[in-house]
């Protein structure tokens, strides 16, 4: 698969195709022309000797120190070396690739003033599957993660290549590439902007889109197993609240459950169900609405110029503008909102699966095993889901509202957007596990009702799981089965 960027607006799904699914990335002729024009401006500034921040001055609080042309390449190299001071566990391959994608998108506008050669080298890292080793911690929004990627470009540090960890110089040589020598402004451009938080949030959007669809399915299975009252999903009633997400989840739930003999026979057995059952359209739908907002913010950022400074005009009539486009406030807020939305999807799922294992409300055998007592069944799986929800409550605390002062008072308001994106990814991983537990428990609960009682949609979902995980008759090792349920969900499309 090949993806072409540069002639039309970029969407987050394209980043996912390259970062997560291995699509080859190319840039259009128009993008290369824009990059070349921007570099012409930088070279004109250097040749003229006129002072421009980040091109021939120091950085941050050192912006009033001017540098001779002979030191500009050294400044770029030193910027990468000094800024590459991240700590902690390494980012996974797909996350590094997503950051690379967002950086290339940023440079493709031609407003950063980097060279064609630099962007070609970044593309080569992607398309030769050379993944710089990037520590996950140390960013207040940008700088450190991209600095580690920049080190790999110049042949310093280690990378992952062909299932091995090797020195960057060795991987470049084996791929037929040479280390890159950054010129004026290129070191600053490499570490600047919002590619880190934006690329990471693209991956989180991919997870969230699939989780929202799966939540409707596992929720429908629980609803049917607990003999819920379908009147709560009445289309006319739901239409009285103009939430696009709620309408979609309501439609999906009706489609999944409309032909259920079990629910038809259960109509009227209670006046109303618990909110974890009857409020699924409202809760899932609210999360869908926040997802749509977050996706719009990320797409806006992907199509933005987020370097500082930006070079505008022509080589004859140029401007270098110091501004704050690298401030990632919009992405940070979007990531924080999406974290809250996904935490709620996991929270309501945990309440549903708790009802499944409780014979006082389920009408099913205790902990969903035929011989409780000698068997604990699904008892502790609910504990695990509760633990994950508790962790998600911590991860859903907003990062963007925190603040620190850096660079000698020069950068005194920070987005902390990279931290927001990283905790969002961790939280989404927890929601995969919570929904997988609901999937297991709901399928087990439906087994007690018999095949002829089930809706076609929920029966198909249960059958998909049963191809990998057998019905429980007695206690067996549960942890691998949770992992298999996650795999089933991640490998299959949950759209109807």
Averaged over 46-63, what is the pLDDT? 78
Q: What is the DSSP letter of 406?
A: B
Give pTM, 2 decimals.
0.96
State the DSSP H helix or E strand holding residue 160, giving kind and residue range, or none if neither. strand 158-161
Would you say 69 and 46 are in contact if contact means Cβ atoms under 8 Å apart? Answer: yes
**279 SS3 class:** coil
72-87 pLDDT per residue, tens:
889 899 999 999 999 9
Q: Residue 39's pLDDT is what? A: 97
Averaged over 229-238, what is the pLDDT? 97
Rounded to the nearest integer, the mean pLDDT of the chain is 94
* Model confidence at 254: pLDDT above 80: yes
Q: Where in the chain is the domain with CATH 1.10.275.10?
A: 2-192
Packing angle of the helix pair 456-466, 195-225 (nearest 10 deg): 110
295-354 pLDDT per residue, tens:
999 999 999 999 999 999 998 899 999 899 999 999 999 999 999 999 999 999 999 999
Which of 54-63, 269-278, 464-473 comes out lowest in average pLDDT? 54-63
362-386 pLDDT per residue, tens:
999 988 888 777 888 889 999 999 9
Q: Residue 375's pLDDT is what? A: 85
Q: Residue 203's pLDDT is what? A: 98
120-138 pLDDT per residue, tens:
999 999 999 999 999 999 8
Residue labelled with tokens 């030191």? 71
* % pLDDT > 70, the chain: 99
Rounded Cα–Cα distance for residues 228 and 235 (Å): 16
Cβ burial of 486 (10 Å; 0-12, 13-18, 19+) is: middle
Q: Which fold does the domain 2-192 belong to in CATH? A: Fumarase C; Chain B, domain 1 (1.10.275)
Residues with a known catalytic role: 53
Report DSSP letters for 79-107, one per residue.
HHHHH---EEEEPPHHHHHHHHHHHHHHH
Would you say 440 and 481 are in contact if contact means Cβ atoms under 8 Å apart? Answer: yes
Rounded Cα–Cα distance for residues 38 and 57 (Å): 18
* Model confidence at 20: pLDDT above 90: yes
Q: Confidence class of residue 60 from pLDDT cuts 50, 70 and 90?
A: low
Q: Greater confidence, 49 or 481?
A: 481
Q: Confidence class of residue 145 from pLDDT cuts 50, 70 and 90?
A: very high
For 200-211+290-491, CATH gives 1.20.200.10
The Cα angle at residue 25 between residues 21 and 30, in degrees rounded to 5: 150
* Model confidence at 410: pLDDT above 80: no
* % pLDDT > 90, the chain: 83
Q: Where in the chain is the domain with CATH 1.20.200.10?
A: 200-211+290-491
* Model confidence at 411: pLDDT above 90: no
* Model confidence at 66: pLDDT above 80: no
Would you say 221 and 446 are in contact if contact means Cβ atoms under 8 Å apart? Answer: yes
Q: Residue 311's pLDDT is what? A: 95
Q: Confidence class of residue 407 from pLDDT cuts 50, 70 and 90?
A: confident
- Strand-pairing partners, residue 5, are 27
Q: Greater confidence, 368 or 53?
A: 368
Q: Residue 61's pLDDT is what? A: 64
Q: Residue 488's pLDDT is what? A: 97
């Amino acid at each position: 698969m090949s993806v072409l960027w540069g002639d039309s607006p970029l969407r987050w799904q394209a980043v996912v195709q390259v970062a997560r699914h291995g699509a080859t990335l190319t840039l259009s002729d128009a993008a290369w022309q824009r990059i070349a024009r921007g570099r012409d401006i930088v070279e004109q500034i250097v040749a003229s000797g006129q002072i421009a921040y980040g091109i021939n001055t120091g950085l941050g609080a050192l912006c009033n120190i001017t540098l001779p042309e002979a030191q500009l390449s050294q400044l770029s190299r030193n910027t990468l070396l000094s800024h590459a001071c991240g700590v902690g566990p390494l980012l996974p391959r797909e996350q590094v690739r997503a950051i690379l994608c967002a950086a290339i998108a940023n440079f493709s506008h031609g407003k950063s003033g980097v060279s064609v050669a630099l962007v070609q080298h970044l593309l080569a890292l992607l398309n030769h599957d050379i993944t710089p080793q990037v520590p996950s911690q140390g960013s207040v929004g940008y700088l450190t993660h991209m600095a580690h990627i920049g080190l790999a470009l110049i042949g310093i540090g280690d990378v992952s290549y062909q299932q091995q960890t090797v020195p960057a110089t060795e991987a470049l040589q084996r791929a037929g590439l040479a280390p890159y020598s950054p010129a004026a402004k290129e070191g600053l451009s490499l570490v600047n902007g919002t590619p880190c938080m934006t690329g990471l949030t693209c991956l989180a959007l991919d997870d969230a889109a699939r989780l929202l669809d799966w939540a409707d399915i596992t929720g429908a299975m629980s609803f049917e197993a607990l003999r819920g009252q379908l009147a709560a999903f009445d289309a006319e009633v739901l239409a009285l609240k103009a939430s696009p997400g709620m309408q979609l989840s309501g439609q999906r739930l009706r489609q999944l459950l409309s032909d259920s003999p079990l629910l038809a026979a259960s109509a009227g057995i209670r006046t109303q169900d618990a909110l974890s059952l009857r409020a699924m359209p409202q809760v899932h739908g609210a999360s869908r609405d926040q997802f749509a907002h977050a996706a719009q913010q990320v797409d806006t950022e992907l199509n933005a110029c987020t370097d500082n400074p930006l070079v505008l005009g022509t080589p004859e009539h140029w401007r270098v503008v110091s501004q704050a486009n690298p401030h990632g406030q919009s992405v940070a807020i979007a990531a924080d909102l999406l974290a809250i939305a996904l935490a709620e999807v996991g929270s309501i799922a945990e309440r549903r699966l708790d009802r499944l294992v409780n014979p006082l409300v389920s009408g099913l055998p205790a902990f969903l095993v035929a011989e409780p007592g000698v068997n604990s069944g699904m008892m502790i799986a609910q504990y695990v889901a509760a633990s994950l929800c508790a962790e998600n409550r911590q991860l859903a605390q907003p990062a963007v509202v925190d603040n620190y002062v850096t660079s000698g008072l020069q950068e005194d308001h920070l987005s902390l957007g990279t931290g927001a994106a990283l905790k969002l990814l961790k939280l989404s991983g927890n929601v995969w596990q919570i929904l997988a537990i609901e999937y297991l428990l709901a399928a087990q609960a439906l087994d007690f009702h018999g095949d002829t009682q089930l809706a076609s949609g929920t029966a198909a979902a249960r059958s998909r799981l049963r191809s990998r995980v057998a019905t429980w008759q007695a206690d067996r090792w549960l942890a691998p089965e949770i992992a298999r349920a996650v795999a089933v969900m991640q490998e299959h499309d949950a759209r109807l």
